[in-house]
Amino acid sequence: MELSGLMQKLKIEYLPDHLDALCEQAAKRELDYRSFLAEALATEWNGRHQKGLESRLKQARLPWIKTLEQFDFSFQPSIDRKVIRELAGGAFVARAENVILLGPPGVGKTHLAIALAVKAAEAGHRVLFLTLEELMTRLKRAQAENRLERQIQQFTYPKVLIIDEIGYLPLNRQEASLFFRLVARRYEKAAMILTSNKGFVDWGEVFSDQVIATAILDRLLHHATTLNIKGESFRLREKRKAGLITQPIEKSEDKGGD
Ligand code: ADP
Ligand code: MG
């Protein structure tokens, strides 16, 4: 059978476009058969991996793409780089553990959540990003349309679910109990990354109910890494550098709890 026909039958998608160049290179470098085969297969594999990654990133609905490499750790010394490196390794995803990023606005919570999500997507995991507000809108709509169960089930599929901005929008009891159902369903099954401008002591207020807040935290924190970021807003620093702010920035109030 002809090579192109074989590649078609084997559903080899990416190699055909690169084959001429690969052969030429292999001849120049006098590659042995095995090395050539490995390079050819690697070309196919890389193409497939890239396509898979792109589709996972699209499904993830990240508001923007940021990476760990783009994070200036020297600006935020309260963050333990070792912990971030460990998280970037993705063991927390495999173990269905949670990551909770606490701190005032602008310290990089969303940036880090996205960067960890990108790592997870690179490792082949399904990822979904939602703000708490979006999550609530979707859960409440599902409830009103009598398909809450199915919606919660759908939110359990991603291996990493990011819920951004807990604390800006206080939830009423009904919303808090919807959030609890989601957390309980994912508990010990799949990882979550949460960000909040409020320390845990204030979560009772955020969820309008101390009992529900405690039940939520109980499950979330059972297997979790909490990063309490205490520092200055990166956004304000940028503005200050640009000369838009001349006053020194007041030290942000430490709202993080343990
Ligand atoms: P938060 O979610 O804590 O309010 P963000 O993650 O949205 O903060 O960060 C605000 C902006 O500043 C984003 O564009 C982010 O990429 C950037 N940023 C924050 N901290 C850092 C940092 N240490 N290094 C590089 N960029 C940062
Ligand atoms: Mg944010």
115 touches ligand 1 (CB under 6 Å): no
Range 161-200 burial, b when 16+ CB lie within 10 A, else e: bbbbbbbeeebeeebbebbbebbeebbeebbbbbbbbbbb
**Residue 247 predicted with pLDDT over 70:** no
Ligand 1 centre distance from Cα of residue 17 (Å): 40
Residues 57, 118 contacting (CB under 8 angstroms): yes
Residue 240: predicted pLDDT: 78
Using N-to-C axis directions, what is the helix angle for 15-28 and 33-60, rounded to 10°? 140
What is the side-by-side strand order in the sheet with 224-228?
127-131, 160-166, 191-196, 98-102, 224-228
**Residue 258 predicted with pLDDT over 70:** no
159 touches ligand 1 (CB under 6 Å): no
**To the nearest whole number, what is the mean pLDDT of the chain?**
93
Bridge partners for 191 per DSSP: 160
107 touches ligand 1 (CB under 6 Å): yes
Q: Which residues surround ligand 2, an ion (CB under 5 A)?
A: 110
Residue 70 CA: nearest ligand 1 atom is 25
| CATH code 3.40.50.300 region(s) in the chain | 61-241
Residue 112 CA: nearest ligand 1 atom is 6
> What does pTM read for this prediction?
0.86
Report residue 203 as tokens: 């979560």
| Nearest CA owner, ligand 1 atom 20 | 108
Give CA angle at 111 (110, 115), nearest 5°: 115
Residues 196, 163 contacting (CB under 8 angstroms): no
Fold topology of 61-241 = Rossmann fold (3.40.50)
239 touches ligand 1 (CB under 6 Å): no
Q: For 26-38, what is each residue's pLDDT tens digit? A: 999 999 999 999 9
196 touches ligand 1 (CB under 6 Å): no
Q: For 102-158, what is each residue's pLDDT tens digit? A: 999 999 999 999 999 999 999 999 999 999 999 999 999 999 999 999 999 999 999
What count of residues does the chain have? 258
230 touches ligand 1 (CB under 6 Å): no
* Nearest ligand, CA 232: 1
Mutate to test the pocket of ligand 1, among 71, 81, 111, 162 (most ligand atoms within 8 A of CB): 111
| Nearest CA owner, ligand 1 atom 23 | 72
Binning pLDDT at 50, 70 and 90, where does residue 252 land?
very low
Window from 65-69, 113-117, 244-248 with minimum mean pLDDT? 244-248
**Residue 45 predicted with pLDDT over 50:** yes
Mutate to test the pocket of ligand 1, among 196, 228, 234 (most ligand atoms within 8 A of CB): 234
* Nearest ligand, CA 103: 1
Bridge partners for 226 per DSSP: 100
Q: For 167-213, what is each residue's pLDDT tens digit? A: 999 999 999 999 999 999 999 999 999 999 999 999 999 999 999 99
